[in-house]
Amino acid sequence: MAYFEFINSVKICSGAHALENIVYELDFLGSKKPLILSDNGVKNAGVLDKVTTILSKNGIPTDNIFTDIPADSDVSVINSIAGAFRQSGCDGIIACGGGSVIDTAKGVRLVLSQQGKDILGLMGNEIIKKGAHIPFIVLPTTCGTGSECTAVAVIKNHETGIKMEYISSELLPDTAIIDVRLTETLPKKLIASSAMDALVHSIEAFSSKQKNPISDAYATTAMRLITTNLPVVLENPTTEARENLALASTLAGIAFSNAMVGVVHAIGHALGGECGVPHGNAMAVLLPKCMKFNLDTNRTEYGEMLLYLAGAEKFASTPKDKRAEASIEFVINFERKIHELSGLALTLHEYGVTEDKFQNVAKKALNDGAVIANRKDVTEADVLDILKQCL
């Protein structure tokens, strides 16, 4: 077996009454005065109140709240929050939000623990060492990024338009609290796009150059939970299906944090930076075309995957040499169904992307770190071809 490393040091609190556990977790981690990071969408939907009510009832101060976090986590916002944290006398961080809020909080915590001033000065794995411990609890309000359990933060430098990927175990939170009371106001389209992001995390992790037996266990469980529960959550939601979907997102996050992602994410990051296509939406559009592109190198994994995507009956009734194609076919049909249930668009055209942007998107995609773990080599012509198919 080839050498591999696997880390997930995050304590996961999931299921009934998970949210109430935040009081114990703060006490355990030694935080009496947390800085609470969120965004105005989460605040206005009343989701943040569910957290602050529990904190207040238990005598934990809630007057240090920052909600002006943009849709893409931003270098200057991170630096200014880190400065404010030092002034405030806070002793821990709570992040309550989606991927951008969580990645912003990871950036702030990294600046603080590395005793730096500027997140731009912390680029490059070799610079980051084991730093000071700042208690850090994450409460995801979407079910897709898996960011609560990843050693990755995507931070945008709005001056250059480039999304930078920070990768370090120092980015892992102490605790992730997965409670569906925080996701119940999500619109269907957002549930669909974020769950498709999680599905791509699991598929890319399972077929990447860095896959390993432990990440495979997380990835395959995530696939099964997403394909069986996402349609239920969109059509006739039950608490159990919503809990399963939220947990799947966390599991897929753990898988890709260790096994990395691939060409779907490389192109998706570039489409986000260049054309503003939201991440999960780009993932849904790109996934089937990129699976077809990767078929010759990923045939074995795509074949194995059919069991977790489509279930035992479909797997057993499909000849071994047809299973890889059947997995791609399943993904295409699954996405059609999700489109019917949620209205999630499945072409780039519907997000206002035009062909004149393709050259820049392709260049950025090939410079994206995600392309490194894609088993098949990717050229500019390959990316242009995939993009044309997605238009």
List residues binding Fe ion (CB under 5 A): 197
Q: Rounded to the nearest whole angstrom, what is the least distance from the CB of residue 322 to Fe ion in the complex?
A: 29
CA distance 221 to 248: 7
Long-range contacts of 123-127 (CB under 8 A, 24+ apart): 123/164, 123/166, 125/167, 125/168
Q: Rounded to the nearest whole angstrom, what is the least distance from the CB of residue 256 to Fe ion in the complex?
A: 7
Q: Rounded to the nearest whole angstrom, what is the least distance from the CB of residue 355 to Fe ion in the complex?
A: 25
Of the pair 148, 197, the CB lying nearest Fe ion is at 197
Which burial class, exposed, middle or buried, applies to 84 when counting CB atoms under 10 A from its CB (0-12, 13-18, 19+)?
Answer: middle
Of the pair 197, 243, the CB lying nearest Fe ion is at 197
Query: What tokens does 300 get?
Result: 């074995």
Residue in the shown chain whose Cβ atom is closest to Fe ion: 197
Which residues are CB-contacts of 298 (< 8 A; sequence separation ≥ 6)?
207, 291, 324, 375, 376
Of the pair 197, 301, the CB lying nearest Fe ion is at 197
Query: What tokens does 149 get?
Result: 């359990």
Of the pair 25, 204, the CB lying nearest Fe ion is at 204
Of the pair 39, 197, the CB lying nearest Fe ion is at 197
- Sequence length of the chain is 391
Of the pair 227, 249, the CB lying nearest Fe ion is at 249
Of the pair 21, 258, the CB lying nearest Fe ion is at 258
CA distance 278 to 150: 19
Of the pair 289, 323, the CB lying nearest Fe ion is at 289
Q: Rounded to the nearest whole angstrom, what is the least distance from the CB of residue 15 to Fe ion in the complex?
A: 24
Q: Rounded to the nearest whole angstrom, what is the least distance from the CB of residue 268 to Fe ion in the complex?
A: 7
φ, ψ at 10 (rounded to 5°): -80, 130
Q: Rounded to the nearest whole angstrom, what is the least distance from the CB of residue 222 to Fe ion in the complex?
A: 12
Query: What tokens does 136 get?
Result: 């850090």
Q: Rounded to the nearest whole angstrom, what is the least distance from the CB of residue 261 to Fe ion in the complex?
A: 7
Q: Rounded to the nearest whole angstrom, what is the least distance from the CB of residue 279 to Fe ion in the complex?
A: 6
Which residues are CB-contacts of 48 (< 8 A; sequence separation ≥ 6)?
36, 38, 42, 65, 67, 96
CA distance 269 to 274: 9
Helices (H), the chain: 22-29, 40-44, 47-57, 75-88, 99-113, 188-206, 213-235, 239-259, 263-275, 279-310, 312-317, 323-342, 358-366, 380-390
